[in-house]
Structure formats: C-alpha cells, structure tokens
Chains A and B, each alone.
Chain A
Amino acid sequence: MLNHQEHIARRTFLRRTGLGSIALASLLEPGLVRAADSRSESDRSSVRHHPPRIKRVIHLCMAGGPSHLETFDHKPMLAKFDGQPMPASLTEGQPIAQLQGQELKVMGPQHPFVRRGRSGLQMSTIFPNMAEIADEICVVKSMYTGQINHDPAHTFFNTGTAISGRPSMGSWVLYGLGAETQDLPGFIVLTSEGGGQSQPISSRQWHSGFLPSRFQGVQMQSTGSPVHYVNNPAGVGREQQRDIVQAVNDINRVRNLELDDTEVATRIKGYEMAFQMQASIPELTDLSGEPKHIIDMYGCRPGDGTFASNCLLARRLAERGVRFIQLYHRGWDHHSGMKKGAAVTGKLVDQGTTALVKDLRQRGMLDDTLVVWGGEFGRTPMAQGSGRDHHIKGFSLWLAGGGLPGGTAYGATDDFGYNAVEDPVHVRDFHATMLHMLGIDHSRFTYKFQGLDFRLTGVEEAHVVHRLLT
C-alpha cells in the first residue's frame, strides 16, 4: 500500500528527471523536514501527568563523591573531636569501604565555612565564585544512597538500582518527554577530570538499558570528533557527503516500491537527520560566536575540554532544546589529601558552575531548567590518613532553577555529619522529585520489560519531596 507521498515519489521517479529534485528539496529546505519531524514528534504523545515546572535538567555530576563536610555541610563538632575516636554507636554494623578493619577517628573540616548571599547560606570557602549564586541554590543536606563504591553508586544514582541493564534517568526522561531538538541528540553527556583520582565512569551511566537505544545518552568528546562519526571521511566535503546521502535515500525510495517496508521511511529520515547533525554539532561546539564577556565569565578557553567549557556547552545545548544534559567531573575521590584535593577540585568546578547558573538566569532559562550539583555519595567524617573514605548515610547536593526557593537548605545530618537525620532524601526521592518537576508522576511512569512494569524509582517507596519545592 502506498501513501500519497510515495505515489508522488513513484510517479516523479519514473519520469526520472524529478527524482533528485524531491530529495533535494527535502535536504535543502530544512523547513520541510522540520515540519515533517515536528508532526511526527507531536504524534508521539509525551508524558504529562501534571503541568511541568521545568523543561530540562542539567546534572553536574561531581564524580568520585565530594565531601559534604568540605562543601556544604558545616560540622563544627568534627573540629572539636578531631583525632578522637568516632562514636561507635554511629558506625557499628554500618557498611564501610576502604576503612574496613581500621581504627575510625574523627577528622575536622579541612576548610572554613562562611555565610554567602543575602540568604546567608553556609558554604565552604573552596567555592568563592558560588557565593554569587548562593541565593539561587537549594542545598539538600540529607541525601542518602544504597551503594558504597563508585561504580555501583553511580549506577544507583543514575538508574535507581545497582543491577546493570536498567535505563539511566536521562534515558527515562527522554523516553517520556522526547526532546525539543531535531538535529541534536536529546540526552547528551560531557566529561572532564582533574583535582583527584579519576575513577572510571562506565557508559552504563547514560545507557538506555531496556529502553529503545535511541533514548541513550550520546557522549560528546572534547577532542577529535565531538560525536562519534559526525565528521566526514577524509577527502569528502559536505557536498559530496550530501550527494551520497541523497543517492542512498533515492535508491531506498525506489526499492521500497517493491519492498514496501515501513521502516524505510524512518531510515530515510535518519539519513537526513544524520546529515543535519553533521552541520549542527560542529555549529554547537564552535564557541567563536560567544562574546568575550561570556567566555570570561565561564573562565575557559574554547575547546580546552575543561569543566568550565562543558558548562558553556551545556548552556548552548539547553538553548537548542536538549532535554537532559549531564556533565561528569571526575576528580572528587579524595581518599588522601582532603584539604588540598577539595581546594583543587573545587576551583576546577567553581567558576563554570557559577557562570552556568548566572547565564541561565540572565537568559530567562533558569526557571524552566533544573540544575543539579552533586556526586554519587559523600565522604566519611572519619579520617582515612589525610583523606576521607566513601560515605552513603548522609551527603549533600544542591538544586537550582525550576522556581525552587534559592538560598535555602533542606534536611540535615547529625552533629558528626554521619547520618541524614532530618528530612532524609533517598536517591529514589530525588528521582521522584525530578520527574515531578518535569510533569511526570514517577509511580505511573513505567515501561514493560520481561513482563514487568519497570519504573525509574523501582519497587521500593519513593516520595516527591514537596516541601523542597515551595
């Protein structure tokens, strides 16, 4: 059965002269393709259980596990007991990583805390720039998670479980909402490192798991081709590439008169989009159009692959309709040298983070963007030599944008910064809350796999932290 367009294609084709022109039109008139795409996009109803507060998420993943005690959770008690044994009542029977079998001694905060902004939000001095956005951010001091080592903890934070093969939160969001871009992937991942031991990060962290693979995160590289295979082969210019794409699509159309395969239309569209991506991605990563004051605000040199550069790219991605943007900075694993490490890594992320939030604000985009800053877990109040070990019972992250009340703190850990004791927020609660802000009810947002309705928030209880939102 041929639809109208195919009939036209066939007739035109048979006259042969018209063959190229149809394809040319679709390639050279982006509007035509866009119209077709946006139609198909709207066909795919997106999930809206209630009106959303935000359109997109930018997750600044501080990989390695930043110490909450040197960033956002001030614990004077630790200074008082510095070098003393940690109260066994807190640590007994608790999971422990590298300090297994060691004597557990308290280590005081390695950096002073100060009050920042009109709100007087407490922050460590390792973030002098972030003082400027103190009134934009909401620190959650009572996070806790279920996994104590990097790989499983990242997997847990991204997919809600430590079992491999489940979709990441970015894939879930893209699956639920689609993206507002036709020529860029809807879920993009950028990475940088420095300041501490660089723990490995698996592509599992942005994988689509059992969701269709088109929902997986696409990693952009800071060197070489920004997206794999987005550059033409050597010796092939854009014109020649277009010729090939056109020929492929034309022949696919002809053959489909006989094959009558509904997938062929998707294939044709895929080639058109690929060809567009070959232009739009270089345009995206070309920062030469950014004014000097913006470059200076981020404090990066375009193309240097730093976290700050990635922050600037994140803003550009957000502007172009990318739904979920994840920046990993691998440098927070401070098993030793906590004092210096926190200062060095802090400096590497401070200015970029600050600039991103300010930039989104000044462009009026912060209200419909959720910015998340935090790692897969925190670090022990106990010393590991001059550093701190992994800690999962209480840690901090912060959120900004989406109309969240800035300059506030939510929840609290105990005096030793060990357990989240006031308004604890599980990683699942974070997921539920993020989805809620996107207009999605986590309990109804499911995907059938192996006969079961899977959810990002899993089978355990998860709660939207409503009090955080007001």
Chain B
Amino acid sequence: MWWTQNRLNRSGTRTEFANNGAPLGQAVIFYPVHKRAFGLISIQPVFRLSCLFVALSVGHALGAEQALRFNRDIRPILSDKCFACHGPAASDGDTDLRLDSRESAVEDWGAIVPGSPEESELVRRIDSTDADEVMPPTDAHNPLDDEQRALLRRWVKEGANYEPHWAYKPLVRPAVPGNSKPKSVAEAIDSFIEAQMRADGIEPVSEADRITLIRRLSFDLTGMPPTAAEVDSFVHDRSPDAYEKLVDRLLESPRFGERMAIYWLDLVRYADTVGYHGDQNVSQTPYRDYVINSFNANTPYSQFIREQLAGDLLPNASLDQQVASGYNRLNQTTEEGGAQPKEYLAIYFADRVRNVSQVFMGATMGCAQCHDHKYDPYTLRDFYSLGAFFADLKEQGKYEARSRPPQIPVPTEAELEQLAEIDREIAVFESRRAPLEEQALPGQSAWETIARARLREARETATVWVDDQELIGAKLEGEWHYITDDEGPVHSQRLSRVQRSAGQMQHFFDDATSRAVVSRGTRFFAWVYLDPEDPPAAIMLQFNDGSWNHRAVWGSDAISYGRRSENWAGYQRLGDLPEKGQWVRLQVDAERVGLEPGDSVKGMAFTQFGGQVYWDQAGWSDIFTLPAHVEQALSLDPSERTTEQANRLRKHYLSQTAPIKELDNNIARLQAQRNDIEHSATTTVVSEAVSPRTIRILPRGNWMDDSGEIVEPAIPEFLGELQTGPRRANRLDFANWLCEPDNVLTSRTMANRLWYLMFGRGICSSVDDLGGQGTYPSHPDLLDWLAVEFVQSGWDVKHLLRSIVTTNAYRRSSRASEHLQLSDPGNHWLARQGRFPLPAEMVRDNALAVSGLLVEQVGGSSVEPYQPAGYYAQLNFPKRTYVADPGDDQYRRGVYVHWQRTFLHPMLKAFDAPSREECTAARARSNTPLQALTLLNDPTFVEAARVFAARIMREGGNSTDDRIVWAYRNVISREPEEPIVDRLQDLHDAHLAHYREHVEQAKELVSTGNAPVATELEISELAAWTSVARALLNLNETIVRY
C-alpha cells in the first residue's frame, strides 16, 4: 500500500470517472499511451527498454520552451510505470488511487497538487530514497529514470493537465497546416508531414528514381514485380500524369484484391484447417475469394464490415453476403474426443471477442476475459457483452468428424451454368406433362377400385439389405466379423455378425446402389442379440441419406455421436436396451429419425458402446399406403368429394401412371444431378442465427463457474450505448455501430493500417493496438484527417490508397541521409520512405512471375506447392499424406497456398507468415539463415530458377553479357553495374565449365520440379544459367521492397 489514508485527504467515495462534459457523452477517461516511437525496437528485451529510451530520447529531449503534451510526454510514463496498479483496474488492487483520472489523483486523493510539486505526494514518492516508500515499488522492477522524474515534476508544476486518450477523442477533421485549400488529398497529407518536418528542422530526402517507384508501387498495390517492359514504359513515359496512370492501372488490376487479401486474411485469421488437435481441413475458400473480390470491386469498407459480421442478417442476403458471414466462423475449432463442449464454446467465444476487437476496433480486449483491462477502459463486463452479440451463432463446442455446420454450397460459375442447363431440361419435361395427363385420365376409376382393395390388405413388404452378406452393392466399412452358429447365436440364414468393444464401435455400409426411397409407411429394422454376460451400454442404428444425422438409440447416453441433451432426429432415444440373451427385431419409423417421404437412404450403421452384440438381418419395410388426404378422398363417393379432394386424388392417381412415372423419374434423375452438383460444389462455413444462448460473465474467465451475471449484447460501455429499444441488439446493430461516421475507432484503425501497408509502419506504429499501451501517433492530426477523409469518401479503400501513394512522402527515396540516420533512425517523421522485406507470399509470387511459371487465376480451391516429405507426420485423425499439385495449381500465387494452421508450409513460415491462429496486424520481419536455405534449396525456387534460365537463353540475346543484363533487369528491374555483370559472368563461366564436365549433374539440376525440361537447349549451358538465375533470385534486393 502506498498512499496511507491519514496522509491523504481521501474523499471517502469511490472514484467515478471525471465528467468534464466529454463530447462522447460519458466520462472523460485518461488512458495511457506507450512510449514515443523513436525507433524503439520492440524486439529488445523489455528490461533493456528503459536505457534505450533514455539514449533515444536525448536526441528529442524536450526543450524547456516546448510545451508538454500529456498524451505524448506524460501518459506513456504513467501508463508504463503506474497504471498497472493505479490505472483503470485500480479498484481490483490494493488501492483506489487512479493516476489515469485527474479527479482521482487531484481531488479525491490529493496525490497531485497542481502547480506545486513540493506538496504533491506523487512527486515525493517518486523522488523518495526510502525503499519502503519509493514509487514504483522496487519489487516491480520497473523504476523511473531521472528524465522521466523530471518530466513528471515539470508536468505537476505546470498544472498537471490531462488529455483524453487520442484514439477515443471524437473524430474531427483537423485543419491542414499552412494550406487552407489543398488541391488534392495527397497535397493535404504532405502538408501535415512537411509542417512537422519544418517544425523539427528536418530535411526530407529526394524523390526515388522511377525504377524504384514502379517496383515499390507494383509490390505495394499488386504484390508482384513489374515486368521489364512495364518498367521501360513507365521510365520513358514523359506525360505529366505518368505516375497517376500507373497507380490507376495497378489499382484496377485483379492482383490488387489478392494483395490486399494477404493482409486481411492475417487479420481475420483465415486458414484452410481447424487449428486444434487433428487440425483437419475445413472448407472456407469461398470466404477468401469474397475478400479478394470485395477489394477488387472496391466494396465500401462499411459494407465489407457489415457483410462479414452480419451478412446473413441483411435483408434478402445474397450468396456473397452469406459467404462473407463466414468471418464469424473462422475461429479455431476442435473435434478432439475428450473435448468438453461447454469449455470449447467458451474458448470460441473469447477467440471471437479478441479477433473482432482487434480487427475492427484496433483494441486488445483479450485481457478483459479475466479482469478489467489494466490500461484501457474495457471492463470484464464489456468483454462478455461484446461477445453476446455473437451468442446467436449456430455452432457446437465439439464438432463431429470433418463437419463444421452450418455450411452452404457455393457453386462456381461453371457449376451455375450446369445447374441452369439442368433447369432448362427439367422445364422441357414439365412441358410434356399436361398432354400425358390428358391421355391418362380415363383410367382413374379403375385405379381407384384397385387402390381401395390394396389398402384393405395393408401388407408389409420388406427389403433385406444385409444378411449373410450385403445384398445391395454397398461399400462396407469397419469390422464385419461374421460367425456361424457354432460360434454364437444366429438369427437368419447361416451367419450373424459379432462386434465387441470397450467403447464406441461401429460397422456400417454406405453408397448402396439400391436405395430405400422413403414413403409414409417406411420403417427400418435390424435383428440384434445382446450378450447377457457382457451387454453394451447402448446400441444405435443410423441412416445416411447424404447426411448421417439420423440416429435411433437404445440404452444409455454413452454413445457420443450426435448426442445432445434434447432428442432430435440425429439422436432419438427409443428407450431401454432390448431384452438380453434373445434375438430382437429393432425397428424405427423413418419419420422418427427425420427421414421424409421422398428421401433416399443409401447407408446404415450398427453402433454399440461396449459389450458384445450379435447383429443379423437388416433392411427396411414398407406398407402400401397413400397420403392421408388421398386415402380420405378415396373413401368417399366421387359425388361427395370436394373439388380440392377430387383434384388431389386425380393428381395422385396421375403420378402413379406409367407415363407420368417415367416423366417424374426423368425429372428426378435431373434433380439428382442437380443435387450432386450442389453437393460437390465447394462449401463454406457461414453464420446462421438461432435463438441466442445465455451469456454470463465468467469469473476469472472460468468456464465452469456459472455464478456470473447474465449479460445482453452491448458495445463497450465507455464508447456509448446502442439504441435498439426493447429489441435485443444483434450482430447487424453492432456492425452498423462500427460503421457510424463518428465511431472513433473503426476509421482510425483501418486508415492507419492502409498507411502501414504503404510505408511499412503505421502513423500509430502499433497497428494492432490503438489503446492505452499502444504507441502515440507520429502525426496524430494526419491520422485523424485521414480517418475522416476515409469515412467521408464513403469508406473508399482505393481512394485512400490512391491518395497515399500519390503523396510526395510516398514517393521519397527510402535511403536515409546521414543526418536522418542519426536524428531519426526509426523514420518517425517520414522524411524518407520505409523499406522492408516482402511478405512471404510475395517472395513466392515474385520468383514464379520472373520465371514465367506463374499461373494467374483469381479464386478457387487452395493449392499445394512442393513441400518437404513427412512434414505432416505429426498430424493425426486422420493421418495425412501431402501430395503436391501436379498441374497448373503448382504455380498459383501464395495467397492460395493451403494454410495448415499447425504446420504452415515451411517456406511461408520461414518468411514470417503467421499461423493464423490469432489476429496478426503486423507480421514479424526477420532475416534468418532459414530464409537463405529456403531460397537456395526449396524446389519451388530451384525450379523457378531453371525455368527462368531457359527464358534467359531464349529471350536474353546471344552474348553472355546481353543475357546477364537481360536477366538482371527482369529480376531487379534495373541495369546491373559493370562489376555485377562481371561477377555473374564469372559464376556463369565457372559453372558452364563444371557442368560440361558433369552433364549428369546438369541434367539433374535442370529437371527440378514438374515443369517440362527445355530439351532444345544445351543442358550444361542451361545448368550454368540456372546458377545465375539462382543467384539473382537470392539477392537481397529481390526480396526487399525499397
């Protein structure tokens, strides 16, 4: 405890948020900002940060004349050193004193006496040399340094003025400094940056050369290098708008959407597998394609948000909008055997809140799962209230094998055409119906007589599916262990089947060629004998009509397949186990397990939990029945029938006549084809709203604790309240709130991230956290101005990007002057461009593009490039064998590569692509030997090199010199300096000599990969050029964006 009560004039009331008439309509809360971003390298151990901070701050030390700014100068210190105990969550701890609230610090506690450091307990404590009194306490291992103490003293002396946290301030378009009428958005942006540089006496570097510019733009906007011809054309384009034309061309390229998707998919943690345990595949590529198409179509960001969070709730939701709603289901899921559904629902819930808050709000709400956020105003309650928006999602804590319902089919263009063709054929058949009916009508009264007679007999006709063998051309699965009556009881014919198990066990057949078409009297049966010495806990019959969710269960609830607390078609409890020690005919009406007239059943499973069970004859039976209303009409004299009854009866009769039956069969066949196409179409997970489940606050995040309060959907309290009246707010309300023009977080978050993509750093450099522990923006006014521009442009992503890349700031060289290297190593002031390694996907795309191997096609299934053998050996359920795509798919862009969450492709992983288990707003940027090994030896790159080598020989001219220049220009976009030509020539010559002596080696090298070998070229020469190509593809400049 550090403030003792008798020293302080404690008000006695619990500190409430100070209300200074904040424009948000609620309390002004002062939240911390992380240190200024003077190039602080976040990869340094934290305990070294303080000394680094000193060293770096010196260059920027505040002059006495420069005014203090709370958010920039003071909040970072308070946040880092004090708020953990004296911040928003202070009431959790030992004291209520909050240093993030002026009211608490000044009025309630008197810890700060504005204007009077001598009288301020805060100053006394930070200056104290008494180990028991000094703050922060010594055991926090987080001391203040002299400069920080001096700043705090000065701040108190100057009146201890607070500012609300910048990211929670209302969005207002700031005035453009020194430029009241900017001619363009770009000019306005430059004015902000130049004004700041002028104030700091910083000289910007000059514009980059045109080659650098076209490379930079091509990678930034399309993720691909420019071709040599594109470079030439731009370099020689003397028109005044050459640059703008280039920008427009790139923004209109379909590659733009693919490039933006790389980033968006990181944010939303899109992958091709479920992540947990067996990390099985899950089909959601249509969502990925939706993202690409949306960026290409320049869908307004607000619509993009609405469709992802609530596409299914939009009126007349289109297929695309339903696909978009798959966003809510991209979280990791499990089908691990022992998983407890309730626990996993809590896990999915928390995962979703973390992701939603990070993606759309730039907030790190994850901490509030267990306690109020220590640095931001997000409370425990906010966490669960935000999650409650998603309580309506239909989902399961534990899924059944390889199934993640709800999923919908998403046919391709070609499939849609096939469907249309089938519909046309159906229409043709339908057009024949009327004449056929005309011909059949005279036979009706004879049919009625026969039908009445058959109804009276009501005979059951049985079809046996399985006896001593299966009789219907089905595929058998599981152990079909037949025995004779020497070995155990047999019911029918010579054999029965025995099944023994300690747990859940089943055998079944599927894909029967002769199927049971369900009618009103259909029931299924199976003969069973339970061993009285070793009975099972439960037995189950199960049926497949395309889905296996039709189950009848006898005995306990031990069998987990389909089990829910309530009875449903997928788990119908039919009572106790049958008598043991005798043969019993199990039977179940089709209707009981959710099979409806017309459904066609092709598989049946025999399941037991534990024990020893004998199974024998099984199949289905039918009783001649007519639909109830037909039967009723038939029982009446024709004169007594109503018109409706007469019509129904006629219709039924007609459907039983041979010509109409044939017609209907033809239509049914087409319908089946239609269904097959719909079934084979790629499916995707989607959102489906059901009655919302109850959401409680989980104390300390403990899913087993049901004592917490029930919460309704709500946005974080400090950001306001949704006005939905008595109606429960839903996902669409939440999305609409995010898209309100005055939402303080949405546009700031996205504008900052778009900036980040174009400069390699955000204006607020912590692109994942605009909250209290985030970084204070280098140009806060510029960020606000951009955020407002973004909203007012109609959330126009291309507009914002176009504006950013046409600024002078964007066009500057990325090479720092000597002065800048010293004065602004972290490029805080944007006096130069950023430089950074290409993302993993672009490293791949670049090599494929240069070599000519790249196959461009937007969307479709994920692709599987070469991958080291055995890489998936640690996966199970099921075991997996990776097969690299043999055809064109081998050469698709990185954004389409199969994303295995637990074993990401080693090339992508080496180049810092994330596993996509959680939101990634900024990838790590590493520079490692593993990257070198990958570029040198991964067959994808070796193949690209040897195919590029063939291009060099075919297209690069005749002399070695010409070819080197041509090759270099195609990889690096510029002319090689003379020494480089010489160096590559040496390499070429040496390897030509070597491979001429070792033609076998040359052959091996130039046959790497699936691409056809260039047989018309001399092998040894091709191998030598392959070496040159490998060197070029490995150059630093090849994989770095300057």
The answer for the CA separation of A199 and B334 in the assembled complex, in Å, is 14
Q: Is the CB of A235 within 8 A of B1001?
A: yes
A250, B902: Cβ atoms closer than 8 Å: no
Judge whether A364 is part of the interface by a CB distance below 8 angstroms. no
Residue of B nearest to A232 (CB): B937
**Complex contacts, B588 vs chain A, CB 8 Å:** none
On chain A, the residues within 8 Å of B874 by CB distance are: 191, 200-203, 328, 330
B1036 at interface (Cβ–Cβ under 8 A)?
yes
The answer to whether B912 and A254 have CB atoms under 8 Å apart is no
Contact with B along A379-394 (1 / 0, CB 8 A): 0000011110110000
Chain A residues with Cβ below 8 Å from B1001 are 235-237
In the complex, residue of chain B having the shortest beta-carbon distance to the beta carbon of A213: B926
Shortest A456–chain B CB gap in Å is 13
A133-188 residues at the B interface, CB under 8 angstroms? 148-152, 162-165, 175-176, 185
- Are B1037 and A255 closer than 8 Å at their CB atoms? yes
Q: Is A466 an interface residue (CB 8 A)?
A: no
- Bound-complex Cα distance A97 to B342 (A): 12
A165 CB, min distance to chain B CBs, angstroms: 4
CB contacts (< 8 Å) of A203 on chain B: these are: 874, 902-904, 909, 915
Task: Please tell me if A415 contacts chain B, counting CB pairs below 8 Å.
Answer: no
Contact A244/B1031 with A204-B902, A390-B338 known, Cβ cut-off 8 Å: yes
Answer whether residue A21 sits at the interface, using C-beta atoms and an 8 A cutoff.
Answer: no
User: A229, B928: Cβ atoms under 8 Å?
Assistant: no
Given contacts A101-B557, A254-B977, A266-B927, whether A164 and B915 have CB atoms under 8 Å apart is yes
Given contacts A164-B915, A213-B924, A233-B942, contact A271 B868 (CB under 8 A): no
Chain A residue with the shortest CB-CB distance to B537: A102
C-alpha gap A234/B1004 in the complex (Å):
6
Give the residue of A235, A447, A448 whose beta carbon is less than 8 angstroms from that of B1023: A235
For the complex, is A251 an interface residue (Cβ under 8 Å from B)?
Answer: yes
The residues of A that contact B338 with a CB separation of less than 8 Å are 97-98, 100, 148-149, 389-390
B454-462, B512-520, B621-629, B984-992 - interface stretch: B984-992
Which residues of B sit under 8 angstroms from A19, Cβ to Cβ? 979, 983
Query: Which residues from A are CB-within-8-Å of B904?
Result: 203
Contact B918 A385 (CB under 8 A): no
Q: Which residues of A contact B347 (CB under 8 A)?
A: 162
Interface residues of B in 810-827 (CB under 8 A from A): 815-816, 818, 821
Which chain B residue has the least Cβ–Cβ distance from A231? B937
Residue from A95, A214, A245, A444 within 8 A of B141 (CB atoms): A444
Tell me the minimal C-beta distance from B816 to chain A in angstroms.
7
Is A243 an interface residue when CB atoms closer than 8 A count as contact?
Answer: yes
Pick the contact of A451 from B45, B766, B1006, B1040 — CB < 8 Å? B766
Is B733 interfacial (CB 8 A cutoff)?
A: no
Assembly CA distance A96 to B338 (angstroms): 8
CA distance A252 to B337 in the complex (A): 53
Which of A198, A200, A214, A336 lies at the interface centre, i.e. has the most chain B CB atoms within 10 A of its CB?
Answer: A200
Q: Find out whether the CB atom of A385 lies under 8 angstroms from the CB atom of B610.
A: yes
A282 at the interface (CB under 8 A from B): no
Bound CA span A336–B931, Å: 44
Question: What does the 1/0 interface line of B354-382 toward A look like (CB < 8 Å)?
Answer: 00000000001011001000010000000
A214 touches B934 (CB 8 A): no
B375 / chain A contacts, CB cutoff of 8 Å: 451-452
In the complex the two chains form, is B903's CB within 8 Å of A191's CB? no
Q: Which of A80-88, A119-127, A257-265, A406-414 contacts B (4 or more CB under 8 A)?
A: A257-265
Q: Contact between B933 and A274 (Cβ–Cβ < 8 Å)?
A: yes
Q: Smallest CB-CB separation from B904: which chain A residue?
A: A203
In the complex, what distance in Å separates the CA atom of A244 from the CA atom of B1026? 10
Binds A, one of B108-116, B768-776, B856-864: B768-776
A165 to B266, CA, bound (A): 13
Bound complex: CA A336 to CA B986 (Å): 66
Cα–Cα distance between A254 and B977 once the two chains are bound (Å): 9
A251 touches B983 (CB 8 A): yes
* Cβ A164 vs Cβ B928 within 8 A: no
Question: Do B337 and A98 touch (CB < 8 A)?
Answer: yes
Taking CB atoms, residues of chain B closer than 8 Å to A459 are 370
One digit per residue, 1 when the CB lies within 8 angstroms of any chain B CB and 0 when it does not, for chain A 205-223 equals 0010001111000100101
Q: Is the CB of B991 within 8 A of A240?
A: yes
The digit string for A1-44, where 1 denotes a CB below 8 A from any CB of B, is: 10000000000011010011000000000000000000000000
What are the residues of chain A within 8 A of B1040 when measuring CB–CB? 261, 263
B502 contacts A451, C-beta separation under 8 Å: no
**Contact A448 B918, beta carbon cutoff 8 Å:** no
A165 touches which one: B141, B610, B917, B927 (CB < 8 A)?
Answer: B917
Contact partners of A447 in chain B: CB under 8 A: 45-46
Contacts of A281-322 to chain B: CB distance below 8 A? none
Contact A251 B980 (CB under 8 A): yes
Assembly CA distance A236 to B871 (angstroms): 23
The contact of B915 among A163, A204, A271, by CB within 8 Å, is: A204
**Docked pose: A452 CA to B365 CA in angstroms:** 12
- Whether the pair A14, B1005 counts as a contact (CB closer than 8 A) is no
Q: In whole angstroms, how far apart are the Cα atoms of A266 and B821 in the complex?
A: 18
Interface residues of A in 333-377 (CB under 8 A from B): 335-336
CB contacts (< 8 Å) of B990 on chain A: these are 243
Is A45 engaged at the interface, CB distance under 8 Å to the other chain? yes
Task: Please give, as numbers and ranges, the residues of chain A lying within 8 Å of B931 by CB-CB distance.
Answer: 270
Q: What B residues does A227 contact at CB under 8 A?
A: 933
Q: Which 10 A-B pairs have the closest CB atoms?
A: A451-B773, A97-B338, A385-B502, A235-B1005, A235-B1004, A164-B917, A202-B902, A274-B932, A165-B918, A234-B1004
Give 24 CB contacts A-B under 8 Å: A14-B979, A16-B982, A45-B48, A100-B338, A150-B336, A164-B917, A203-B909, A214-B928, A227-B933, A228-B906, A235-B1006, A241-B936, A245-B936, A251-B1035, A252-B1036, A255-B1035, A259-B1042, A263-B1040, A270-B928, A271-B1034, A447-B45, A447-B46, A451-B34, A452-B364
Chain A residues in the interface with B (C-beta under 8 A): 1, 13-14, 16, 19-20, 45, 47, 93, 95-98, 100-102, 148-152, 162-165, 175-176, 185, 191, 197-204, 207, 211-214, 218, 221, 223-225, 227-237, 239-241, 243-245, 247-248, 250-252, 254-256, 258-261, 263-264, 266-267, 270-271, 273-275, 277-278, 328, 330, 335-336, 384-387, 389-390, 443-444, 446-453, 459
Other A-B contacts than A197-B876, A199-B277, A251-B980, 9 sampled, CB-CB below 8 A, are: A101-B558, A212-B43, A228-B934, A229-B938, A230-B937, A247-B983, A248-B1031, A267-B1036, A453-B46
